[in-house]
Chains A and B, each alone.
Chain A
Amino acid sequence: MGDSQKLLGFMGQNASALKKLWYESVLATYPPETAQLLRSKKDQFSNPVGYTLKTMIEEVVEGFLAEAEVQELAAAFHPLIRIKAVQGFSPAEAVSSVLKLKHAVRELLAAKASSGSGSDVLEELDPVIDELMCSCFNLYVDCRQKLSEIKEEELKRNFYMLLKKADLVEDKNTG
């Protein structure tokens, strides 16, 4: 991630608060009744969305601290983006979880304004957020594209023998 010592220092000192703030801000994109259940259940199978969110936040913040490459951080985002891509969110809303990390950092910086290192931290954070946003937007578009492909392939599978009879499929795998 290049030279980001201020950012790392700040995140290291505030990791726990940052995770909490970020987690709550993404939860707030869901209705309150839902957020309550997403928050309360810990089991990954009884609560796949809440678990995915929690894991993503953990992996991204820890990834930052371990100085992971931006692509690794982006990969940690992907399971959540894949979920949000089918949950009826607009594209902007679906990828907004990335921005919420920035907002959480800003909020924490504001609360600790006396430290005076805010602009340095944000300067180091901004390019990472930009790259993460681009990567997540790409994934969002891939997910939506995948849905179209899945529809098409399902239709072919559903009518496979009829298409075969009409000589409209060459191979079962390629259609």
Chain B
Amino acid sequence: MVKTPKPKELTENLLEKPNLLRGDQPKQSWMETPVEFKPGTYCHAAKPKVLEGLGFPNPREWQPGDDDWQLPDGWEETILKGFQERLKKFRSFKLYMDICVRCGACADKCHFFLGSGDPKNMPVLRAELVRSIYRGEFKTAGKILGSIAGGRKMTIGVLKEWFMYFHQCTQCRRCSVFCPYGIDTAEITMMAREMMSLVGANINWIMEPVSNCNRTGNHLGLQPHAFVSSIRSLCEDIEEITGVSIDVPFNKKGAEILFITPSADAFAMPGIYTMMGYLLLFKHIGLDYTMSTYASEGGNFGSFTNNETMKMLNAKMYAEAKRLGVKWILGGECGHMWRVVHQYMDTMNGPADFLELPKSPITGTVFSNAASTKMVHIAEFTADLIKHGKLKLDPSRNDHWHTTWHDSCNTARGMGLLEEPRYVLQNVVNKFHEMPENTIREQTFCCGSGTGLNTDEFMEVRMKGGLPRANAVKYVMEKHDVNLLSCVCAIDRATLSSLVQYWVPGMEVSGLHELVGNALVFEGEKWPRAMDLREDEPYDYEEPEEEPEAEAPAEATEEGGEGDV
């Protein structure tokens, strides 16, 4: 039963305790203010069976809101040893610990800070949560002078702070764009998450997809037949909508290209419409490709835990390319898959010498930018097809959409994919408006849910983290009647849909290739169609008049007169 406060308690709460209603503020500095885990402000802890299966330390039943985190004896030493190992192993980490001058250029660039107003979400202060331990435990001045030299000791309070705030960083790297020293705060978050993994401070929404991906090839843990069945079901929908019949090749040895995309494109809305777009495109150009039921996931949640796990999941895609004997890999609309491929794959698993330098079989274009990874982004591939006039497109088929473009952090800031998707978009739609300059391209605002934070129990934090993005989307909706936010990332597609429901009701979200799919004109097809790929009815379609029923022949009415069809 709910405990109702007595009038005396209410008086105490309202009049005697510090109260924000009266503008009271915490008396301590940020360093002494402890974190408070309230429901909605943290992601659930990783389940023990998931950690056990992956061989991660300290599997147990616990939650971040518990007072006792059930950490193993000597956990502080484990973290500090891990800290020291990483300072030696990763030169960038050591550099980022040393060179920050706390100029504050990054302070107001983080979407979590802008949305939450919590100073510990200023990138400089978030990094300081780790840097203070670096000073206090490893630097002479910090060891002797403690907080006077900005140093602290590793305590349970600090670990809880790390858990709270390094799960309020989506590694989007917007702050890094503004750092005069080029400090990549995302890599500090990666190190903090690695160190938390050493004592079992992991979240389930990251670890379970990692485990599933490791066992069955995709985040949901679906087995090959479920993957195939889902995509075949989408092919049935495509045929019903467009009249185009598609037979997707799976695990086809000797195909020229292996196509890998996030599994959300096979199962989740609105990703499935993007999948339909890919399949229509491949049919349109007669591509010799295959999908794999084992590399059935482009996403790499391993990159949100530690570098070994990231490497393992990335290697799976290349192992499958080798097994199938393809020439190169075409990658779908994913965010962090591309971050991993573009920035880490070559060091971890590359170069992929057993594959060939990617060359478009349709245009002959050689993608020399993918010389080492042998993996081409589908936006580059499609832009090249359009540039060479290989696609028959009718952008008016998307006239029910007035679009804007969300630059996904990993592909935009992470790999410079800024022009190609815009080129594709503007060839498949007639109506397009950019969001304000300081919210797009290199300065794009994150969806607020990346790096494995896209879980429902974290919705409140996701909404405030996504506020700066939604704020710009709302602006183009009100100013230019934009009604579709398009992007090339599966997490964006899933989470921006929720974000706009809260902040910009009426806005829809799509992938790029859904719009390509709508615009593709096939030989001999009936137009207008009754529906677009969403099975909505935006076209001037008229139901064909039914032919008058012919008089039924006498024998058809007889029993057994109609054969099976």
Residue A115 is within 8 A (CB to CB) of chain B in the complex = no
A158 to B463, CA, bound (A): 18
Residue B494 is within 8 A (CB to CB) of chain A in the complex = yes
A22 to B274, CA, bound (A): 48
Residues of B within 8 A of A149 (CB): 501
Contacting residues of chain B (493-524) with chain A, CB-CB under 8 angstroms: 494-495, 497-498, 501-503
Residue A29 is within 8 A (CB to CB) of chain B in the complex = yes
Q: Answer whether A87 and B116 are a contact pair too, CB < 8 Å, given A45-B472, A48-B471.
A: yes
Q: Residue-by-residue, is B26-62 near A (CB-CB < 8 Å gives 1, otherwise 0)?
A: 1000100000001001000000000000000000000
Residues of B within 8 A of A37 (CB): 107-108
Contacting residues of chain B (428-467) with chain A, CB-CB under 8 angstroms: 436, 438-439, 456, 459-461, 463-464, 467
Residues of A within 8 A of B468 (CB): 45, 48
In the complex, are the beta carbons of A151 and B459 less than 8 A apart? yes
Q: Which residue in chain B gives the minimum CB-CB distance to A48?
A: B471
In the complex, are the beta carbons of B114 and A49 less than 8 A apart? yes
| Count of B interface residues, CB-CB < 8 Å | 55
A35 to chain B, nearest CB (A): 8
In the complex, are the beta carbons of B501 and A146 less than 8 A apart? yes
Residue A44 is within 8 A (CB to CB) of chain B in the complex = yes
Residue B347 is within 8 A (CB to CB) of chain A in the complex = no
Residues of A within 8 A of B269 (CB): 157, 160, 172
Residue A93 is within 8 A (CB to CB) of chain B in the complex = yes
In the complex, are the beta carbons of B20 and A29 less than 8 A apart? yes
A146 to B503, CA, bound (A): 10
Residues of B within 8 A of A87 (CB): 115-117, 464
Q: Which residue in chain A gives the minimum CB-CB distance to B495?
A: A154
Residue B272 is within 8 A (CB to CB) of chain A in the complex = yes
Name the segment of A65-73, A122-130, A161-169 touching the other chain: A161-169
In the complex, are the beta carbons of B117 and A25 less than 8 A apart? no
Q: Give the total number of A-B pairs whose CB atoms are below 8 A apart.
A: 136
In the complex, are the beta carbons of A47 and B502 less than 8 A apart? no
In the complex, are the beta carbons of A147 and B460 less than 8 A apart? yes
- Determine which of B38, B117, B467 lies in contact with A34 in the assembled complex, contact meaning CB atoms within 8 Å: B117
Interface centre among A30, A93, A143 (most CB of B within 10 A): A30
Residues of A within 8 A of B233 (CB): 161, 164-165
Q: Residue-by-residue, is A38-56 near B (CB-CB < 8 Å gives 1, otherwise 0)?
A: 1001011111110000000
A157 to B495, CA, bound (A): 10
- Determine which of B459, B467, B501 lies in contact with A48 in the assembled complex, contact meaning CB atoms within 8 Å: B467
Residues of A within 8 A of B264 (CB): 158
Residues of B within 8 A of A93 (CB): 20-21
Residue A116 is within 8 A (CB to CB) of chain B in the complex = no
A160 to B265, CA, bound (A): 11
- Determine which of B118, B268, B501, B535 lies in contact with A161 in the assembled complex, contact meaning CB atoms within 8 Å: B268
In the complex, are the beta carbons of A43 and B467 less than 8 A apart? no
Residue A135 is within 8 A (CB to CB) of chain B in the complex = no
Q: Which residue in chain A gives the minimum CB-CB distance to B470?
A: A48
Residue A32 is within 8 A (CB to CB) of chain B in the complex = yes
Residues of B within 8 A of A48 (CB): 114-115, 467-468, 471
In the complex, are the beta carbons of B25 and A32 less than 8 A apart? yes
Residue A155 is within 8 A (CB to CB) of chain B in the complex = yes
Residue B119 is within 8 A (CB to CB) of chain A in the complex = yes
Residues of A within 8 A of B459 (CB): 147, 150-151, 154
A174 to chain B, nearest CB (A): 13
Q: Which residue in chain A gives the minimum CB-CB distance to B111?
A: A48
Q: Which residue in chain B gives the minimum CB-CB distance to A147?
A: B459
11 more contacts with CB within 8 A, not counting A31-B117, A37-B108, A162-B267, are A41-B108, A44-B471, A45-B436, A46-B108, A48-B114, A82-B502, A83-B464, A86-B502, A93-B21, A151-B456, A160-B267
Minimum-distance CB pairs A-B, first 8: A28-B23, A33-B119, A151-B456, A157-B269, A48-B471, A86-B463, A34-B117, A161-B267
27 contacts between A and B (CB under 8 A): A28-B23, A29-B23, A31-B26, A33-B30, A38-B117, A45-B471, A46-B114, A48-B467, A49-B114, A49-B117, A83-B115, A86-B115, A88-B41, A88-B118, A88-B460, A90-B20, A96-B20, A146-B501, A153-B498, A154-B456, A154-B459, A157-B494, A160-B272, A161-B230, A161-B272, A165-B230, A172-B534
Residues of chain A having any CB pair with chain B under 8 Å = 25, 28-34, 37-38, 41, 43-49, 82-83, 86-90, 92-93, 96, 99, 143, 146-147, 149-151, 153-155, 157-162, 164-165, 172
Residues of chain B having any CB pair with chain A under 8 Å = 20-21, 23, 25-26, 30, 38, 41, 107-108, 113-119, 122, 220, 222, 226, 229-230, 233-234, 264, 266-270, 272, 436, 438-439, 456, 459-461, 463-464, 467-468, 471-472, 475, 494-495, 497-498, 501-503, 534-535
